[in-house]
């Protein structure tokens, strides 16, 4: 950290104590700023801790071009920021916090601890060493001429702020702090409305079927939407179907629903077998057995799988059954609501910001994380983008303060969290 008098250090407010905000605070602390992180919740990192319940998928080790493609329309916007703090840098940063990582299936990168709390504790200790102050139960309300207007239990106050970084999240998991209320601070033209992403889909099935099969998995299936295919496991819920293969298709499902009001996916119950293999297996079963028994014995289909095949065809011919197993129509009536989504699409538009994430008409105000208009599937891509944009916004704010002659030096060197 640069060594210069405390009174000469610029004051920066970071609003939001999730991964993006804490990363921005770390970079600003390393640059020598007096940083205060505020958050409306009683404690910090609540969504990060929730993600840790499933192991804390920090990033993905797939080749960088493939990783960037996961961000769809926002890939070109996020690319410079992710390239500046790429998956290898995320791993090095976590390990600098004494959290070694490993790469699991499909390139998913996890801390060995398989939870978020040790990483968060070490991260907060580092921020404390940098002089970063954390202030909870404090809600950001507005900015005005180098001041942040905040609400605290004691009432409304103003804090000195040479620069402000907003990391207030999207609108998913509002009970963890990201409620999307910040959108009222910006003109409507600068914000794309939030839509659910990485969420369940509501099948156009009778309610009785959902109730009957709630809690039943569909394992090792493939889903197709137009030319895109995903594989993995699905879970039938009381109101929707959930699972990573579906989450990856949500952008395409959303577009189809917007365009025509309906969407039909193709479900393959046995993606590792082709039609001929399946037909041959079915042909070897006893013709006198019921179709349900033949599907169970030849293919190991459970009761749900057999019911779906029965919906698709009444034919008992092996090839007709095989075709049905490979191409079950899955009509989708809608998507789960925002408050049940893992993440969101939408947010502050790219054209409302400079390339370094400063609001065009608000010098000194920077934005990062899920406030930005991007989306990505699960698999490490969400945390990667939050950390990378927080890294970028923190560095950009330090650079801007240096150009404004409020900070003797700009962004710190290195990406590991130590300058």
pLDDT in tens, 248-263: 999 999 999 999 999 9
- Look at residue 405 in the predicted model and tell me its pLDDT: 85
Question: Residue 166: CA atoms inside 13 Å, Cβ hemisphere, count?
Answer: 32
| pLDDT interval class at 146 (50, 70, 90) | confident
Q: Among positive and negative, which fits the CA dihedral 174, 89, 414, 74?
A: negative
Query: Residue for token digits 């990363």?
Result: 23
- Look at residue 106 in the predicted model and tell me its pLDDT: 87
Instruction: Provide the mean pLDDT of the chain.
Output: 93
| pLDDT at residue 202 is higher than 50 | yes
- Look at residue 287 in the predicted model and tell me its pLDDT: 80
Q: How far is CA 343 from CA 101, 146, 200, 317, in A?
A: 24, 32, 11, 44
Least confident segment among 84-98, 198-212, 280-294, 400-414: 400-414
In the three-class reduction of DSSP (H, G, I as helix; E, B as strand; rest coil), residue 227 is classed as coil
Question: Residue 45: CA atoms inside 13 Å, Cβ hemisphere, count?
Answer: 22
- Look at residue 419 in the predicted model and tell me its pLDDT: 38
- Whether the CB-CB separation of 203 and 210 falls below 8 Å is answered with yes
- Look at residue 362 in the predicted model and tell me its pLDDT: 94
Residues ≥6 apart with Cβ < 8 Å to 228: 248, 249, 252
Query: Residue for token digits 């939870």?
Result: 115
- Give the pLDDT mean for 280-300: 91
Q: Give the whole-angstrom CA distance, residue 91 versus residue 68.
A: 17
% pLDDT > 70, the chain: 96
- Look at residue 6 in the predicted model and tell me its pLDDT: 66
Q: Give the whole-angstrom CA distance, residue 204 versus residue 159.
A: 52
- Look at residue 414 in the predicted model and tell me its pLDDT: 57
Tell me the sheet residues that pair with 152: 155
User: What is the bridge-based pairing of β-strands 147-152 and 328-335?
Assistant: unpaired
pLDDT in tens, 293-304: 999 999 999 999
Q: Give the whole-angstrom CA distance, residue 176 versus residue 235.
A: 24
| pLDDT at residue 100 is higher than 50 | yes
| pLDDT interval class at 84 (50, 70, 90) | very high
Q: What is the CA radius of gyration of the chain?
A: 25
- Give the pLDDT mean for 362-375: 97
pLDDT in tens, 315-350: 889 999 999 999 999 999 999 999 899 999 999 999
| pLDDT at residue 412 is higher than 80 | no
Q: Give the whole-angstrom CA distance, residue 147 versus residue 311.
A: 62
| pLDDT at residue 173 is higher than 90 | no
| pLDDT interval class at 115 (50, 70, 90) | very high
% pLDDT > 90, the chain: 85
User: What is the bridge-based pairing of β-strands 101-103 and 108-111?
Assistant: antiparallel
Spell out the domain ranges in the chain: 6-195+341-403, 201-335
- Give the pLDDT mean for 409-413: 60
- Look at residue 177 in the predicted model and tell me its pLDDT: 86
Concatenated DSSP letters of 29-74: HHTT-EEEEE-SSSSS-HHHHHHGGGT---EE-S-HHHHHHTTGGG
- pTM, two decimals, is 0.92
In the three-class reduction of DSSP (H, G, I as helix; E, B as strand; rest coil), residue 165 is classed as strand
- Whether the CB-CB separation of 357 and 389 falls below 8 Å is answered with yes
- Look at residue 185 in the predicted model and tell me its pLDDT: 94
pLDDT in tens, 29-47: 999 999 999 999 999 999 9
Strands (E), 167-209: 191-197, 201-203
| pLDDT interval class at 87 (50, 70, 90) | very high
| pLDDT at residue 417 is higher than 50 | no
| pLDDT interval class at 216 (50, 70, 90) | very high
- Look at residue 91 in the predicted model and tell me its pLDDT: 98
pLDDT in tens, 116-144: 999 999 999 999 999 999 999 999 999 98
- Give the pLDDT mean for 388-400: 98
| pLDDT at residue 242 is higher than 90 | yes
Question: Which CATH superfamily does the domain covering 6-195+341-403 fall into?
Answer: FAD/NAD(P)-binding domain (3.50.50.60)
Query: Considering only CA atoms, which of 413, 347, 417 is closest in space to residue 78?
Result: 347
- Give the pLDDT mean for 375-382: 96
Q: How far is CA 354 from CA 10, 363, 390, in A?
A: 22, 10, 15
Q: What angle do CA 410, 22, 30 make, to 5 degrees?
A: 30
| pLDDT at residue 111 is higher than 90 | yes
- Whether the CB-CB separation of 113 and 52 falls below 8 Å is answered with no
């Amino acid at each position: 950290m640069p060594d210069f008098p405390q009174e000469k250090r610029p004051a920066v407010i970071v609003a939001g104590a999730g991964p993006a905000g804490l990363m921005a605070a770390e970079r600003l602390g390393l640059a020598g700023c007096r940083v205060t992180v505020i958050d409306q919740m009683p404690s910090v990192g609540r969504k990060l801790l929730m993600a840790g319940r499933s192991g804390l998928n920090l990033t993905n080790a797939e080749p960088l071009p493939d990783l960037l493609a996961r961000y769809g329309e926002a890939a070109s916007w996020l690319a410079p920021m992710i390239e500046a703090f790429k998956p290898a840098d995320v791993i090095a940063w976590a390990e600098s916090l004494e959290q070694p990582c490993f790469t699991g299936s499909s390139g998913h990168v996890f801390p060995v601890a398989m939870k978020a709390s040790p990483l968060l504790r070490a991260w907060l200790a580092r921020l404390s060493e940098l002089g970063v102050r954390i202030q909870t139960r404090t809600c950001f309300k507005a900015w005005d001429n180098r001041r942040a207007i905040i609400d605290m239990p004691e009432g409304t106050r103003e804090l000195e702020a040479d620069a402000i970084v907003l990391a207030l999240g999207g609108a998913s998991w509002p009970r963890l702090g990201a409620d999307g209320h910040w959108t009222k601070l910006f003109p409507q033209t600068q914000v794309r409305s939030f839509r659910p992403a990485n969420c369940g889909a509501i099948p156009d099935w009778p309610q009785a079927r959902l109730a009957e099969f709630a809690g039943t998995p569909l394992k090792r299936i493939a889903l197709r939407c137009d030319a895109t295919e995903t594989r993995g496991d699905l879970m039938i819920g009381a109101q929707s179907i959930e699972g990573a293969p579906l989450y990856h298709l949500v952008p395409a499902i959303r577009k189809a629903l917007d365009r025509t009001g309906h969407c039909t996916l193709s479900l393959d119950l046995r993606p590792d077998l082709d039609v001929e293999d399946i037909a041959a297996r079915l042909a070897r079963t006893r013709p006198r057995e019921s179709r349900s028994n033949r599907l169970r014995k030849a293919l190991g289909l459970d009761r749900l799988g057999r019911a779906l095949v029965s919906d698709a065809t009444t034919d008992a011919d092996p090839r007709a059954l095989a075709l049905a197993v490979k191409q079950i129509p899955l009509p989708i009536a809608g998507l789960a609501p925002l408050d049940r989504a893992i993440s969101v699409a939408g947010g502050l538009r790219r054209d409302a910001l400079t390339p370094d994430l400063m609001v065009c008409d608000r010098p000194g105000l920077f934005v990062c994380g899920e406030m930005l208009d991007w989306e990505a599937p699960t698999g490490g891509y969400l945390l990667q983008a939050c950390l990378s944009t927080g890294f970028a916004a923190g560095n950009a704010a330090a650079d801007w303060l240096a150009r404004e002659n409020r900070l003797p030096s700009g962004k710190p060197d290195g990406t590991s969290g130590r300058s």
